[in-house]
Structure 1
């Protein structure tokens, strides 16, 4: 039985998937400076203070961060402007208009360099920094610098280990809101990224890109020691062990080492006695498919070697 989201109209495969999907909409504190969303007031106010001790909604400035946080709460308590689509409320009509552009898809702010369009002028200004190369926001811990303060704030979490975005279903937390949204699809079962060739769909855009290479034959990951190339990076890493001799996979029973996890799995069957490969002619079973193939050739009168 399918359930429809009353906010965005999307159809979900079950009640639990709908509950998880609605949790995404429940992130009800949007930052009007950088566009990130927050699920609770305390995380939201802490995030806003990172933009500086200036109240963006009204322009009032404060000497202390704590004073700014208290002031921001007064804005949150006065939200007479309501969105008729999702029910969110705002303290200023202009904020409501900006928010409505997310529903309408309106993107009036265009980059004069590449033509990319944005719903907010602040996002356009941040984007332009990509073309100019300006990075006025330096990290005080390492030598990296960023084109926007929001990017710097996100980067700082790599140093602090902060994970403010928490899944309401399993309590797993993330340093980025975008990572939480991707994670939520493991609960909702959403697969919005569809292959235009075969119709197969995926929960992550990166997984779709990897899948597309099956159709294109693209192998962008090249071995620097031989001429082989691969469609996926993990396949290249696996191949490199044939050059380095690395054997990171160890049998916990006899401590034998293997270069590939698939070889370890095959080996484990010698300990478990598992024989999942059965001959359809005589019902004899084997622990490895290669041994079954050799056996079948004997029935066909072919040399197994």
Structure 2
């Protein structure tokens, strides 16, 4: 059939099953078929929950020896699979393959609903829950649902008031190691995620994905109230609170309420008004800022950089938000409408002054 040479008759018989599709060894629980009895025995451990391969360091059990060997690399720190682009090491070849897509920009797993691409299938499945409204991981305290179990675990630290990960530069604490590593890039100025179009660097891959929308013009998330479009679902969620008036988070000092709390949140930034903290300092002139975004925008005063260019008239801007407002000059778009007179405005602040 294929001309492949096989050394032993038993191996030849198993190989022929590749062409015939024959799977003579069947699981009595779920009916799944296998080409070899050893594969069936390994599979049955899923149903029996048998884990005969035990890690001697932490006691965790596995149903396959290969999974135990992969797990042990967590303890030894062994990362034999290295990225040739940035030198980062991984303990599994599959993780290296997924990582390399950050450099190549490849996103082979595409959402059929909005066209958004992902580097791995698990991220796509998690994303599809956004469209389905599915949030299978629920907080037992407040009943809030999450699309990922890791998001639930991080959320539960809010109730436990735990922030176990401390920054070695400024002693700020975080609920997760991922948040700490992202924060530390503020101090190290590391920006490992680079735009292939304009060369701008970002501390998070998600920020790079959103930034690419500036070049492509893609805005797949639409507000059901005013039809304004956004590059990310988080921006849409924040925007919807403008319509609902929802303000979930309260400042303990002055009682002011805010719509959003997260990394670089409104509430965290507002608290610096009371503390006087300005953690983001310009290396050129020493001026301090309460927000990293203000710091980055300020630095363009020294560099005279205007990375955001209008595709219609060629005018350059230091901020993407300023470019977006400028576009409305050409399109005539006025998305903020007065509920009484129907007059439109290009900015929310203009509408609020009018009201």
| TM-score, normalised by the number of residues in structure 1 | 0.49
Q: Of the two structures, which has the highest relative contact order with CA contacts closer than 8 Å and spacing of 6 or more?
A: 1
| TM-score, normalised by the number of residues in structure 2 | 0.43
